[in-house]
Amino acid sequence: MSLGPCGERDAKRTSLRRGSTILPESLALLHIANSYNDKLPRTPLCHSLTRNYRVFPAPSTLFFMSSAKTIAKNTAWLLIATTGQKLLAFLAFAIAARLVGPTVTGEYFFSVAVTSTFVILADLGMTPVVIRSIASGKKEGKRLFGAALRLKFLLIPVAILASFIFIGIRNVNEVIIVTTAIMTLVMSADSIHLVFYGALRGSQQLRFEAMGMFIGQALSAITAVSAAILGWGAPGLALALLMGSVWNVGWSWAKAARQGVLPEVPKKGDLASLARQAVPFALAGIFVKIYSYLDTLTIQYFHGEKAVGDYSVAYKSTYAFQFIPLVFIAALYPAMSSVFAKNDKAELQKVFAGSLRIMAIVAAPIAAGLSAIAPQFVTMIYGHSFLGSVAALTVLPWVLLPIFIDFPVGSLLNASHRAHLKTTAMGGAMIVNAVLNFLLVPLMGPVGAAWAAVVSFWFLLFAGICFCWKMLPSVSWFFWLLARALASGAAVWFAVRMFGKPMPFPLIILFGAAVAGVALLATKLLTIQELRNMVRWLAAKVRGNMQDEEELHEEV
């Protein structure tokens, strides 16, 4: 049986097969960053993988490749599991929403928005501090983990009380009250497993989180569809979330214990240290929660639960794609923290610039494509009762481009202990979002909320870039990157809108993907050589896996 990627047996196989000592695997999502950056020196990583297995890179390149291997392994785990998780979540939400209709969906989504807003009171930025401390190899990491858990048990009741006070002030119906009560239990469980998964992330053991979240989502999906069929309404949908959250508490604790990543008793001064480090993360979390859910709360106040249900379809359909940068950054953030701790600025700049480019490549086609197919998408997935969602879904997907590109920005600032700058940007974005929601939602409803989100996320991106522009190859490089991404997105949008209407839905997707590929190549966001390198890398992986299987059978 294999001892793992870093095991002695695999090391020997790698040495024999490739003629080198231990050559790390390619960084699956970041190999573009290594093989090509517009104004950065090329590294031999991609070429060594695709042309000659006996290349011995320079020590600095080997260090980068070591970081790349860790990021690639963690990204692969999270990408597979989170893709499945988000697919299950989307299918369950679509089926349940189609069965219960816009009003019940709105009641459920409003309750989720309330508790999701106040859950920040139960965390207050402690989890990122735990991740960073453990990832940096600091001795007090596990003690801060213990301090965070103790504070959470004090703060969770505060968050629950705040949720009920808000519901009482709004004078909502009994269904929403019951649903919110169940959601406070979900909020409590989520707050606990969040910090356990954070500790595992800090030790770069992301596969346990990946598996746990997938299984939890499967439990929630099955329960949600069953509740919708049985007519349990919004409380039944909330109960589905509770099933998954309780599972994740047990799973994350068990895996953390097995890996030896358990909280230790904090010493004198640890609580103060945790509180001091968590302040910028706490403020950032508050800002994020406000501008993430203020739209839903405002829509419910001015237009009622049905409008919230319509908006929830656009919201869920758009932000379902947010798992892509979330997966990427979940693996990238601990690695960035480690690189920053080694004070290797050149390495950090390469990873940062390449990450921005990859996010632009991925985001532009998705944003444009989802916006363009909004009418067909809503009627096919959710049914004609949700036609009120089409207008919002035409606008809202354009938040994905700034959101995707902003993830590496936030990761860099957090990893380099400049979270307060990211917090400042988020505070500005929150103000912009709040003002636009109060101005646009009363007049335009869900569409106004969608426009408020688009403008505020672009503001967030540019504000963040202002704080880390020295890590860019140049300012003009960044704006040229945005221009090419927008041009690619515009090409996809107009092509799908003009020629996609008579096509069957699957053919529209294929057509849009083909146009996106051509547009990315035409704007040189992606190059032919990079595509060839990717194909060669995949072919090498397939051959390597087949050979591993043959050797394993021989041993057996």
* Arithmetic mean of pLDDT, 3-26: 35
pLDDT value of residue 494: 95
pLDDT value of residue 284: 77
Nearest partner of 224 among 210, 242, 211, judged by Cα: 242
pTM of the model: 0.75
The amino acid present at 407, given as its one-letter code, is F
* Arithmetic mean of pLDDT, 320-349: 67
- Give the Cα separation of 126 and 92 in Å (integer): 31
- Give the Cα separation of 321 and 363 in Å (integer): 9
- Sorted by sequence, the CB contacts under 8 Å of residue 315 that are 6+ apart come out as 109, 295, 296, 396
3-state secondary structure 203-263: CCCHHHHHHHHHHHHHHHHHHHHHHHHHCCHHHHHHHHHHHHHHHHHHHHHHHHHHCCCCC
pLDDT value of residue 539: 67
pLDDT value of residue 211: 85
Q: What is the pLDDT of residues 190-226, one digit of tens each?
A: 999 988 988 888 777 777 888 888 899 999 999 999 9
Of 226-230, 323-327, 391-395, 438-442, the poorest mean pLDDT is in: 323-327
Nearest partner of 403 among 376, 437, 438, 366, judged by Cα: 366
Question: Residue 279 — very low, low, confident or very high, per pLDDT cuts 50/70/90?
Answer: confident
Q: CA quadruple 308, 311, 313, 316: dihedral positive or negative?
A: negative
Domain-wise residue ranges, the chain: 8-57+542-555, 78-327, 343-382+396-525
Of 332-336, 379-383, 550-554, the poorest mean pLDDT is in: 550-554
Assign residue 26 a region: left if phi > 0, alpha if psi is -120 to 50, beta otherwise? beta
